[in-house]
Amino acid sequence: MELAERMLAIIDRQAIYDQMSRYIQAVDRCDLELLKSVFHADGVVDFGVFAGNAWAFCEQNIPFIKENLVMGWHRFTNVDLQLDGARARAESYMLGNAAIRLPDGSLVNCPDNMRYLDIWEKRDGIWRIYSRDLVLDWNASWPLSERVDGEFEQYQLRGRRDESDVVYQHKLIRPL
């Protein structure tokens, strides 16, 4: 592989990693437009609870998160990415955590470990997900015991699940 090809591969990989970060930001900030911007309009997902058009999934998933989760965060860990011209295949590990409020008002912590199996396509110079399957490897639940006293009481910047989160003020979230 020539130097120019290697440089293009690095640029393409970084563009996909950037989109992976946008996906996480969109889900955790409940940002529908940002989430849709990560998928091609004709993209598909299979998450078990939903299989079909990716944009339809986004339009169903964000309201579900807002209505059912008190908080949630996700992070990518290992990523195996195989480039093939304007297509790429990826397996990425995801660690997530969410808290749900039960009908009695109590909160339950729900950590999970999952993998995304993706097909990425570069169209008009932009990498987006064409196909995403979610594989659940592990999950659990237990009572949430969040602390807001002691040193934690001093933290003035608290994460928000919408555009009032401080990351928007810093202009760090932007769709392509």
pLDDT (tens digit, 9 = 90+) per residue, 19-44?
999 999 999 999 999 999 999 999 99
Please answer whether residues 43 and 23 qualify as being in contact, where contact means their C-beta atoms are separated by less than 8 angstroms.
no
Sole residue written with tokens 């997530």: 96
Domain boundaries, the chain: 3-169
Length of the chain: 176
What is residue 169's predicted lDDT score, i.e. its pLDDT? 77
CA of residue 154 relative to chain centroid, distance = 29
Please answer whether residues 28 and 74 qualify as being in contact, where contact means their C-beta atoms are separated by less than 8 angstroms.
yes
Out of 2.60.40.1260, 3.90.1530.10, 3.10.450.50, 3.90.850.10, the CATH code matching 3-169 is 3.10.450.50
Kindly state the tokens that stand for 127. 């990498």
Instruction: Show the 3-state SS of 55-104.
Output: HHHHHHHHHHHHHHEEEEEEEEEEEEEEEECCEEEEEEEEEEEEEEECCC
Condensed to tens digits (0 to 9), the pLDDT of residues 56-82 reads 999 999 999 999 898 899 999 999 999
Please answer whether residues 42 and 128 qualify as being in contact, where contact means their C-beta atoms are separated by less than 8 angstroms.
no
- The residue-averaged pLDDT of 111-123 equals 98
Identify the residue with better confidence: 125 or 158: 125
What is residue 163's predicted lDDT score, i.e. its pLDDT? 80
This model's pTM is above 0.85: yes
